[in-house]
Amino acid sequence: MESHSLRFVTIVVELVLSVSLVLNPVFGVPPCDFPAIFNFGDSNSDTGGLSAAFGQAGPPHGESFFHGPAGRYSDGRLVIDFIAESLGLPYLSAYLDAVGSNFTHGANFATAGSTIRPQNTTLHQSGFSPFSLNVQYYQFHDFHRRSIIFRNQGGVFKKLLPKAKYFSQALYTFDIGQNDLTAGYFLNMTTDQVVAYIPDVLDQFKTVVKYLYDQGGRSFWIHNTGPVGCLPYVMDRLPITAGQVDKAGCASPFNEVAQYFNKKLKEAVDRLRMDLPLAALTYVDVYSLKYTLISQAHRYGFVHPLKACCGHGGKYNYNKHIGCGGKITVHGKEVLVGKACKDPSVMINWDGVHYTQAANKWVFDRIVDGSFSDPPIPLKMACHREPPH
């Protein structure tokens, strides 16, 4: 009799454990098995969009991994590349790139210089991309619709376009907002003026996420913006006083605005969780990691955290007139002066604006397990949502 009772109790316990494992929001559930990634963003995740539209980012970009230009504003891979690798997916082709692209496992709509809010300037005037987040959504919408039509025709299209079901199973990634902040400053706006338009920027961000949800998107991985006040192109171009420089050498006013943006972005994501009941939205704090890396560079094996690896002259090896790969004419001959440093693997900043492959890998290695996410869910579990609270 006791053996039967013990057996019954054992079965009940096993059932309870099985149910609890299924219901647990993180543990005890299988990885999400994302078949595709659709990415939206700026140069932090552009894998060839701006290069396809306006000309290739030339050498020495890409030298550390691709051994030549690969559409990325870095010496090698970006965080989005490491995300794709970790999910067992190929690197994302840029939607705008007509040559050699394969969209079977997703597409990248990000372009360098992109903003959330459309800019009223041309690329030539301001350096900001015409492919703002709303335009990236329009491109995605068209890509979604036409992919289904053309894939059904079979042949080569079947090998180059995603399956219809992938659009609801995919991971939707975002890394955008940095340029919305710097755009205001470069137009000589005050900090108060920049702060004042952040709510409108984030309203537009929420609108695009809702549109993607309506298109079937369910899993969203959203990076906040980094410490722009630690980047040479900001510190070199915008006036700051000695009292505004923090212990790491960064410009505090610009970092404080980035932190305010991130606070409001997190609130926007919280609101989206309530509005989109079937969505899993993960907010990823890359700001804290990037600032930690810059402020404690030597601890992590890096040197000259505020200096560009690839550039020419000045305090930060950055010159807005002669960038990475830049040349000047001497006695009728072109001379390369925007050279890369000898060892990019120990540098954090690549060209005054963007991060090196080594820095990107350092950041990725620390976000992949969910340690800097809200909710604290690993990348491979990002299809699991947290109930709104």
Whole-number pLDDT of residue 70: 97
In a domain, 230, yes or no: yes
Contact (CB, 8 A) for 159 and 103: no
Whole-number pLDDT of residue 1: 45
In a domain, 231, yes or no: yes
In a domain, 247, yes or no: yes
Instruction: Give residue 231's region: left, alpha or beta (phi > 0; psi -120 to 50).
Output: beta
Whole-number pLDDT of residue 124: 64
Whole-number pLDDT of residue 213: 98
Contact (CB, 8 A) for 76 and 66: yes
Whole-number pLDDT of residue 128: 85
Q: How far is 134 from 184, CA to CA, in rounded Å?
A: 19
Q: Residue 76's domain spans which residues?
A: 33-302+348-381
In a domain, 371, yes or no: yes
pLDDT digits 0-9 by tens, 173-197: 999 999 999 999 999 999 999 999 9
In a domain, 14, yes or no: no
pTM greater than 0.75: yes
* 94, amino acid identity: A
Q: How many domains does the chain have?
A: 1
* 235, amino acid identity: M
Compute, in degrees rounded to 10, the torsion defined by CA atoms 102, 170, 289, 265: 120
- Read off the CATH number of the domain in which 106 is found: 3.40.50.1110
Structure tokens given for 178:
């940095």
In a domain, 310, yes or no: no
In a domain, 250, yes or no: yes
Helix (H, G, I), strand (E, B) or coil at 106: strand
Helix axes 191-214, 252-275, angle to 10 degrees: 30
Whole-number pLDDT of residue 386: 64
Q: For tokens 């090698």, what's the residue?
A: 76
> What Rg do the C-alpha atoms of the chain give, in angstroms?
23
The bridge status of strand 37-41 relative to strand 327-330 is: unpaired
Structure tokens given for 228:
């722009």
In a domain, 64, yes or no: yes
Contact (CB, 8 A) for 20 and 89: no
In the chain, which stretches have pLDDT less than 50?
1-26, 387-389
Residues annotated as catalytic are 43, 351, 354
